[in-house]
Amino acid sequence: MKDEIKYKADTERVCNNSPTNQEMMSTSDFLSDFSGSVISNIRKQMENLHVCSHREENLCFENAFSLIDLLPINAIESTSSQIPKRKISEANKERRKTTSTSSESNIYSPLTSFITADSELHDIIKDLEDCLMVGLHTCGDLASNTLRIFTSKSEIKGVCSVGCCYHLLSEEFENPHKECIQKKWGFPMCHYLKEERWCCGRNARMSACLALERVTVGQGLPTESLFYRAVLQDIIKDCYGITKCDRHVGKIYSKSSSFLDYVRKSLKKLGLDESKLPEKIIMDYYEKYKPRMNELEAFNMLKVVLAPCIETLILLDRLCYLKEQEDIAWSALVKLFDPVKSPRCYAVIALKKQQ
């Protein structure tokens, strides 16, 4: 306790003697209006903090103002031991309670809506002002549409988009002979690839979803489940004459006790007559292809090795699209996450020029 009291006394002395402290606004001066002037002041304080030693820097910054005090009282979960208890004046408590009950100042408000490139944000967010758009993770075409919305809406000053599910991307040149009224596609986005009429195809986009880093550290591909799925497809093709189907088998492998059980459950889910296939025929297919499981594993490893090339192509297409926009001040691909924990670890980040 003595050490803590001395520590607090030293904190007050250091901050009171700091030249930075004399230029700061008191917390009460900007609690009522957390506006651009406050942001500017915070930036100045952060820039000036280099005059303090590392320990003094933290003390000065914490003592001068607390960003937590600026938030509504319901915006913070105080269950964590990392957030120390602070003495708040009664007036400040009442102010924060009033703020937190006001519908206009809710920091987090969940909303579900189907978003396209043509979505009107003002219909979704009534009081839309200068903001940053963040997507984590934006599935399929949502990643492309996020960037299009960013470039078309003046209120959005920055974007951070981490995409996923490349296999669900729509491609403009995948089916050139098929009539389609869709005008805005998930891929390609930039002028160069559009002029080249570039197409990846579903198999390549499926490969882009694989995780090379996970395989590298020993978290290999589920070879047996892939083998089951490949043999099942051959059975359906030969015995039912079906080469294409809109239905999906899904994650049946983990619920199956054997290959026979897997086939039975899959046929039932696909709406096919399982009584048409006796057990012997199913197991004959299994024994026929079992020696080729190593080939399947080698083929899938090749896909894993090529996966980063395809993913990079898709990400660079999005980056080039942003580079083509005249009002973008800065844009880049930034590696945000550990690829072993989160294989889709690259974010497309951009900031607009200040008007």
pLDDT tens-place string over residues 239-262: 998 888 778 888 899 999 999 999
Give how far the C-alpha of residue 166 lies from the chain's centroid of Cα atoms, to the nearest Å: 13
DSSP bridge partners of 330: 351
Distances (CA, A) of 3 to 6, 7, 9, 10, 152: 5, 6, 10, 10, 57
Helix (H) or strand (E) holding 330: strand 328-335
Q: What is the pLDDT of residue 17?
A: 53
Sort 21 into a burial class: Cβ within 10 Å, 0-12 / 13-18 / 19+: middle
84-88, 183-187, 271-275, 341-345: least confidently modelled range: 84-88
Each residue of 156-179: pLDDT tens digit? 999 999 999 999 999 999 987 777
Nearest to 210 by CA among 221, 225, 218: 221
Place of tokens 């009224």: 181
Say whether 272 sits in a helix, a strand or coil. Answer: coil
Nearest to 171 by CA among 193, 151, 188: 188
Output the pTM of the full model.
0.65
